[in-house]
Structure 1
Amino acid sequence: MNADERRFAVLRAIVADYVSTHEPVGSKMIVERHNLGVSSATVRNDMAVLEDEGLIAQPHTSAGRVPTDKGYRLFVDRLAQVKPLSAAERRAVQAFLDGAVDLDDVLRRSVRLLAQLTRQVAVVQYPTLTRSTVRHCEIVQLTPARLMLVVITDSGRVDQRVVDLGDVISDDAVGQVRTLVNGALVGRPLAAASAAVAELPNTAPADLRDAMIAVSTVLIETLVEHPEERLLLGGTANLTRSAADFPHSLRQVLEALEEQVVVLRLLASAQEPGTVTVRIGEENEAEEMRDTSVVSIGYGPGTVLGGMGILGPTRMDYPGSIAAVHAVARYVGEILAGR
């Protein structure tokens, strides 16, 4: 191998050893552990060049070196292909996700699975409602004065709401309400659907007007985006296992996770289905995330419904994390496509 390839092999060895041991890596360790076929002196020279290029750095108290954000970035960019999950891991992922009963369950399971596979914090964004359209609204009469509305979107999201009418309504009237509501909703994106529903009380027959006001009020609440419902987190405790990886402040990272907005912005950049995005350390705009790396991807059945990924210290198993995020997103897309 030429000098460039050999230096990259040294960088790769430093990344691998530092990720697994959390100890700075010295030339002697590289020669002993990684069969590079060169002397300790050559490795020391290569390390000096890598340090000059800003790819590795020397912590004050140690003779060894650790990768910098720039070093991790080069390592990630040169991962020739994503190491796929093993057949056993793939079967486990499939079996776990296939057991899900609805979209909420699929996403909850995805978060648990990603946190277990990567031992990092897993994040899944609910399908952004702005991109969803209404597939159907079922209206069921629970009692003569009480209805249940079931709104189903093309992303598989199902919202159920109960409407108290305050007055008795006939079966025929329920049928008319159902027809009018579906005429306004079906096939429309959510924002347009909620605007159309707001008009219904004005255009409904006089005898249905009161019922329509009650129904449309509840529907509009259902259709409007609820930002607080938009993120699922799992495995937050995994961060505390590696508190030493956050020299500035682990508390900052935990607070940012609670705020969600920062994380939603990170996931919003993952809008290519099937393409994993890796943001390392300083590449994260939010200051409180500068000690973290985020591996994310868009998921969905062809069109991207939302983002998912993992977040952890910059010292992470990038090949394994990328493979896990890629595999789980693919299965979630397949499940949603089949529903």
Structure 2
Amino acid sequence: MANADERRFEVLRAIVADYVANQEPVGSKAIVDRHNLGVSSATVRNDMAALEEEGYITQPHTSAGRIPTDKGYRLFVDRLSEIKPLSAAERRAITSFLDGAVDMEDVLRRSVRLLAQLTRQVAVVQYPMMTNSTVRHLEVVPLTAARLMLVLITDTGRVDQRTVDIGDVITEEDVARLRTSLNAALAGRRLTEAAARVAELPEQAPADLRDATTRVCTVLVESLVEHPEERLVLGGTANLTRNVADFPGSLRQVLEALEEQVVVLKLLAAARNPGAVTVRIGEENEDEQMRSTSVVSVGYGMDTLLGGMGIVGPTRMDYPSTIAAVRAVANYVGQMLSGK
């Protein structure tokens, strides 16, 4: 870029920083006073006029300063040369808060609360996508003489429990045989493959176990098939109400959209690779109800993408700090759920 273009970007950067901090339109005098750009107010005014003509900033009221547009925020985010690192205290807080988790469900609940606290936005975490999971073990527990509990455990730590009525008395020896045959078919297999194997088991079962195997396998398929409506944890929704002015006439629409998990899953769909942060700003969001928001999302997992997480907030947000927080929490959750 030419020097004039670089200087105009520094003016845009100053406008973004001041507007995010103060929620007030930014004038040329404020930029000269607060930011060491080494140029006069007249030069800054000319640069602001050029930025406005190019659609990067706008003047909300006559005689007011300028505020960034979605296009301005996009240029700012695209040119972030470095992401503000988390402080040692913030890193310690992540470690100590998540280290206390007892299982995968707890990890996800804690990560949502932590992300909402760190960013002061709405945090969302997607359950590990079952299509990428493998079966670690299936436990078969007798509840009564004719009722069993199935406990499916995946390599990501997900635990799914189902009960099944056998319809007849089953002995402990038969329960053990059933457990052995099920684990032989399922253990170490991806859930999609495991579901196919489960469908074949009744035909292969001994005659005296065929009815019980059929009933168990029918219920077990429910644990092996993906259920998108069960895949999200949301937290910090009340954070959106801190600055209602950021959502002129649209806060209710945003809250309603967040209740529709299909909408939120779409927001996370861009998170395709672990560690790769995606930022969607305003009009870039596909859902019309979310076009007053920005979404910062990232995939989590180590070698394999397990799921997505991110935050939803107003376009007026501290992008460097938010990106750093989302990336750090995702990295830690990925390590925990991958057992590394």
Q: Given the two structures, how large is their TM-score scaled by the length of structure 2?
A: 0.95
Residue 54 of structure 1: aligned partner: 55
Residue 282 of structure 2: aligned partner: 281
Structure 2: how far apart are the matches of 1:204 and 1:259? 42
Pick which of 96-105 and 173-182 moved more: 173-182
Residue 127 of structure 2: aligned partner: 126
Q: Is the 8 A contact 1:115 1:122 kept in 2?
A: yes
Aligned ranges for residues 60-79 of structure 1 at < 5 Å? Answer: 60-79=61-80
1:333 aligns with 2:334: yes
Q: Is the 8 A contact 2:156 2:338 kept in 1?
A: no
Aligned length: 339
Which consecutive residues of structure 1, in runs of 5 or more, have no partner in the other structure? none
Structure 2 counterpart of 1:140, one-letter code: V
Structure 1: how far apart are the matches of 2:39 and 2:168? 87
Q: Is the 8 A contact 2:229 2:262 kept in 1?
A: no
Structure 1: how far apart are the matches of 2:254 and 2:44? 36
Residue 41 of structure 2: aligned partner: 40
Aligned ranges for residues 130-149 of structure 1 at < 5 Å? Answer: 130-149=131-150
Q: Given the two structures, how large is their TM-score scaled by the length of structure 1?
A: 0.96
Aligned ranges for residues 1-339 of structure 1 at < 5 Å? Answer: 2-338=3-339
Structure 2: how far apart are the matches of 1:64 and 1:85? 32
Pick which of 280-289 and 114-123 moved more: 280-289
1:219-241, Cα deviation, whole Å (9 max, x unpaired): 11222222221111101111111
Q: Is the 8 A contact 2:132 2:304 kept in 1?
A: no
Structure 2 counterpart of 1:84, one-letter code: P
Q: Is the 8 A contact 1:24 1:62 kept in 2?
A: no
Deviation, 1:131, is 1.9
1:133-183, Cα deviation, whole Å (9 max, x unpaired): 212212223443332221111222111223332322222211211122112
Deviation, 1:248, is 4.5
Pick which of 118-127 and 159-168 moved more: 159-168
Structure 2: how far apart are the matches of 1:153 and 1:326? 25
Structure 1: how far apart are the matches of 2:235 and 2:181? 41
Structure 1 counterpart of 2:239, one-letter code: N
The alignment partner of 1:256 has SS state of helix
Moved over 4 A (4+): none
The alignment partner of 2:157 has SS state of coil
Q: Is the 8 A contact 2:185 2:197 kept in 1?
A: yes
Structure 2: how far apart are the matches of 1:305 and 1:337? 9
The alignment partner of 1:166 has SS state of coil
Structure 2: how far apart are the matches of 1:307 and 1:131? 13
Structure 2: how far apart are the matches of 1:184 and 1:248? 55
Pick which of 97-106 and 244-253 moved more: 244-253
Percent identity between the two aligned chains? 76
Structure 2: how far apart are the matches of 1:211 and 1:63? 75
Q: Is the 8 A contact 1:248 1:291 kept in 2?
A: no
Deviation, 1:61, is 4.3
The alignment partner of 2:302 has SS state of coil
Pick which of 120-129 and 182-191 moved more: 182-191
Structure 2: how far apart are the matches of 1:257 and 1:315? 19
Structure 1: how far apart are the matches of 2:323 and 2:65? 27
Pick which of 231-240 and 171-180 moved more: 171-180
Q: Is the 8 A contact 1:301 1:334 kept in 2?
A: yes
When the two chains are superposed, the root-mean-square deviation of aligned CA atoms in Å is 1.6
Structure 1: how far apart are the matches of 2:308 and 2:250? 26
Structure 1: how far apart are the matches of 2:71 and 2:191? 42
1:183-214, Cα deviation, whole Å (9 max, x unpaired): 22223322332232123222211111222122
Structure 1: how far apart are the matches of 2:245 and 2:24? 11
Structure 1 counterpart of 2:325, one-letter code: A
Structure 1: how far apart are the matches of 2:331 and 2:58? 37
Pick which of 204-213 and 15-24 moved more: 204-213
Structure 1: how far apart are the matches of 2:102 and 2:51? 51
